[in-house]
Every structure is written in structure tokens, then in C-alpha cells.
Amino acid sequence: MLRAAARALTVSSLNPKVLALADHHLGGLVARRAQSMQQELDANPASHPFSEIIYCNHSNPQSQGQQPNKFFREVLALCNHPHLLDRSEASFMFSSDAITRAREIVGFIPGKTTGGYSHCQGIEGLRDAIAAGIASRDGLPSYSEDIFLTDGAAAPVHMMMHLLIRGKKDGILCPIPSHSLYTDSMVLRGATLVPYYLDESRGWSVNISDLKKQLDGARAKGIDVRGLVVVNPGNPTGQVLVEENQCEIVELCKNECLVLLADEVYQENIYTDQKKFNSFKKVARSIGYGEGDISLVSFHSVSNGYYGECGRRGGYMEVTGFSSEVRGEVYKVASLSACSNISGQILMSLVMNPPKVGDESYPSYRAERDSILSSLSCCAEAMVSTFNSMEGMTCNKAEGGISVFPSVRLPPRAIEAAEAMNTEPDVFYALRLLESTGIVVVPGSVFGQVPGTWHFRCTILPQEEKTRQIISRFNVFHEAFMEEFRS
């Protein structure tokens, strides 16, 4: 009699830290249901009371119909196929400044091909260009040796977690709500999450006294808190921090000897005239702290912002305030990945050095950029206004980023119905929304929230015409939902 073959790998034999991630992905329930409904609609368009699934759950602008920037793609095309630069018709097909920029970049690339490896820290000429872009943005020096080019912003976040976290007694202060990248990265490494709650009543600002209380409480439990994550502009909350709040954060990190991990990937997506983006590096220098006074890592990416080049996976981290010995260890971790992809490196250099006044591409570049940001701003304003008009719902203004994060006061009967299904109330709400309207949102549980409150994240990426459909469907659904579960 043959015995059943033993499996080399089972769920129970996996790394328990990986299994623990399941608790962070409640939004996966909604996303998986959306995928199955999409298949049902493809097979039978009459299978649901709507004709399409509207994805407001992911930060993927070009999948929502946003067109890529013409200048960026022209330069990238020429760099990927540099033989075009030697053809006479190139001047008819591409703008003159795109040709000039591509020639310059190809000259930086080892072997003049985007298909090869680069230096593990990134191509030096592109790091020079990015440092120049940072210096222009901040009005302060920036140096190419501080720049590490990466595959998006997730890769350098994982790098820094590798460097900071030694075991479960190490902790990182992380905003709640925030992107699961940070919490999941800590779970994978067995670290202790030290949460600090953003103040929803004050536009999702950072409450320094609460932050200090969380820090002291963690240390009292024997946790070695090593760093502080701050996301500005916020995701999913969409706030833009005022400079005074940033100064408080910098002072805390300096006084408490914390590494400041600054996620600044939405720095160009600002929708209010009352606030502007200031990098944490600029703020630190403005209050008198030099490079040796505070350890700071800043993250940026081409996946985010108005460009939305998610699939290109370009990004960087700027590392300042570390000793030469520590910098060597950062380099060691970076070298484990050989190098980031060359197309992403090129795009990151273009994002930090776009066309300027007088360049042939500048008028079209500026028109594309302004059109995208204007559309996002209009969608955000329409959604915020709509959500604030709904029963039991409040929503802070989206000052930046790509999403709104409304709070929903769910009726007790709805919470009881969710408990009967053994799921979180905000997941229950999101599933009912999906089944009724085809709109996909992310439950607030995925990002974290004050216990007893319920939220969802809705991106502002759909085109303006689609946004009107979302608002109309949402109004009808929410009114019916509240009536169904009214006590």
C-alpha cells in the first residue's frame, strides 16, 4: 500500500512571521471578491446590477486611464533604443530637449545599454542629477554619495528595516493610520510596532505629546525604539504637515536619538494654497541641525506623485547624518540586490529634473502636469464634499496625496451583522458597497485606526467623469445601508 507523499512545505512549516501578515491584509477579502466579480461580469455582463468594477482601492494612476508624461517616455524610449539618436528622423519624432537629455543619460550608462547592471548604488551621473534636483528643491546642498537608487520606495524601506531591527525588543514608531508597508516590514522582521495615532480632529496632524507618551511607554516595557516613520503628504489620510509640526518631529528625533524615516513620495501632489511641501531635511537644517546632528533617511518614488509610473519601479533614498562606518553597512545591504532597474533610475532622474522654462518640452510638460493635478484636486474636493453630506460620515480635506479617508459611524445593527460574519465592521461595509455598486475601497482596518472607529480609503485617481458615477452610486448605497441597519 503506497503512503501519501510527504510535502516538503506546508503552511504550518512556513516562517510564522509570514503567516502573521494575514492579519494585516483584511483588504484582501474585498480585493479578491472584486476580482471574482470582474470574472463574472466578463462571462455574463448581466450578472450584477452594474456594468463594471470601479477600482478605488489601489494607487495605480495609469491603470485608471491617466496618460504617461510625454517627455519622460520620449527620453526613456531613446535611452532604451539609443540607435534612434543617430537617425535623421529622430528630430521629427522626438523633442529636441528629450534628444539632448537622452544623449546625456546614455553617456552615463555603463556599456550604453539599459539592459546591463549598474553600480549597486545607482548610476553616478543619475545620482548627480537627482542630488542637483534635491538641492534645487530645498535650496540646500545635496550629494550623490548620499543617494541610493532603488526599485521604488518599498525596497529602501525594507533595507532600513534590515539595518535597524535586530530582534523583537527593537521597535519603530509608526503612524496610525499608515500604509501597511511599514507595519508588515516590522512583522516580517519580528520587531515591535510602536504606534502613534494621527489626530483626526486636527486634520490628521501629529500630536507630539501623544508621540512622546507612546515612546516612553514602549521604553518602559523594555523596547529599544530605534526610529520614527513619518509620511508627508499622508497616505491614506491625505494631510500635509505644517512646518511647525515638522519642527516638533525633528526636535523629538534629535533629543531622543531616533532615526527619522521620512516617506515623501507624494511631495508634488498638493491641493491647497494654504500649505506647501517642505522636506524634513530642509526643516532640520532650517532650525540649525547640521548633517551630524540628526540621522535622516528620505524616500521618494516615480510610482507616486502626478507621474504614476508604478510599473517602472524607480525610487531613491537620501541618507544623511550617518557615520562612514554605518554608511558602509547601508552600502552592503544595497549591494545584495546588485542594482535597481535602469529604466526606473532614468525616470527618477527625470522626475527630479523635469523640463525647464525655455525647453521645447516645457509647455506640454507643464500642461500635462497641471491637468493631472487639477483633476485630482477636483475629484478630491467632490468626494470630500459628498462624504461629509452623508449620514454618519465625516471626511477631512485631502490636502495632498492620492486618497481620502472618511470616518463612518456604523449603526449597532451593522456592527452586529459584521460580528455574525466574523469580520470587521469596516470590511463588512466595504463588501456590501462592492456587491451593491461595484466600487472597491480599502477598509480602514488595513491601515490601522483608533479602536471603535471605522474608516475606508478611497483613491481620487478615477477620471472626473468616473468620479461622478462613484458619487452617485455611493449616495444611493449609503442611504440604503443606513436605512437597512437603522436601530
Instruction: Evaluate if residue 388 carries a pLDDT over 60.
Output: yes
Torsion of CA 258, 259, 265, 270, to 10 degrees: 40
Strand partners, 192: 171
Rounded to whole angstroms, the Cα distance separating 220 from 222 reads 5
Higher pLDDT, 60 or 458: 458
Average pLDDT over residues 393-421: 96
Rounded mean pLDDT, 391-398: 96
pLDDT digits (tens, 9 = 90+) for 251-270: 999 999 999 999 999 999 99
Mean per-residue pLDDT for 371-396?
A: 95
Fold exhibited by the domain 13-52+367-484: Aspartate Aminotransferase, domain 1 (3.90.1150)
pLDDT at 387: 97
Average pLDDT estimate for 188-213? 95
As a whole-number percent, the residues of the chain with pLDDT over 90 amount to 81
Cell numbers representing residue 363 in the block: 509647455
What local confidence, expressed as pLDDT, does residue 148 receive? Answer: 97
Q: Class assignment of domain 70-103?
A: mainly alpha
Q: Is the pLDDT of residue 22 over 80?
A: no
Boundaries of every domain in the chain: 13-52+367-484, 70-103, 108-352
Q: Tell me the β-bridge partners of 318.
A: 147, 298
Question: Using one digit for the tens of pLDDT, what is the confidence trace for 435-462?
Answer: 999 999 999 999 999 999 999 999 998 8
CATH class entry, domain 108-352: alpha beta
Is the pLDDT confidence value at 324 over 70?
A: yes
In this prediction, residue 26 carries a pLDDT of: 59
Q: Is the model's pLDDT at 4 over the cut of 70?
A: no
- Residue 338: per-residue pLDDT: 83
Binned at pLDDT 50, 70 and 90, residue 71 comes out as very high
* Per-chain mean pLDDT for the chain: 93
Annotate 186-253 with DSSP letters as a single string: HHHTTPEEEEEE-BGGGTSB--HHHHHHHHHHHHHTT-EEEEEEEESS-TTT-----HHHHHHHHHHH
Cell numbers for 226 = 530605534
- Is residue 112 within 8 A of residue 253, CB to CB? The reply is no
Fold match between 70-103 and 108-352? no
What mean pLDDT comes out for the span 190-204?
Answer: 95
Whose grid coordinates read 483613491? 459
pLDDT (tens digit per residue) in 276-301 = 999 999 999 999 998 889 999 999 99
The strand pairing partners of 147, in sequence order, are: 318
Grid coordinates given for 450: 483608533
What residues have CB less than 8 Å from 352, skipping those under 6 apart? 129, 130, 132, 133, 134, 137, 300
